[in-house]
Structure 1
């Protein structure tokens, strides 16, 4: 459970770090958004180092969780409800994440 929670925190840090520059570039918001964006991306990189397994495996498994968190962001922040295809894709991605992270060692 700790691994999954850490992946969620990592995904949120990455999404915020990318979303804030998007607001500046595409929606004309303040360039000051780049300051918390940079901090969020630094947090993202640091959170990735907290995992106890090989980095490549962590990055591969993290991708599955990132997809799920990104679709939640789409729904909650952007107000766009994910389709059944989106949900199916998340299920496949999370299954892959589980296979990668929780394999017998």
Structure 2
């Protein structure tokens, strides 16, 4: 079953992102929102980890959160809240990493 994983916490404060990346299946997707979009900062260790995970077309970030933190990234597809809802429906399960 394909799962949409959602992370909202900063990747610099705990290991949720690393744990999630270890568990991702080939059909799973990852949505970064709130402080988790900081993982996309160019030159960061977390950006390199996301790149190494091979999440082409399966890595998303809430556009509003990217703008609020002045982050620009070609790694993740920026989406709005309507697209977030569509992603939630497209995947069999949604796992929010609280």
What is the TM-score when the length of structure 2 is the normalising length? Answer: 0.33
What is the TM-score when the length of structure 1 is the normalising length? Answer: 0.32
| Structure showing the higher strand proportion among its residues | 2
Q: Which has the larger radius of gyration?
A: 1
| Structure showing the higher helix proportion among its residues | 1
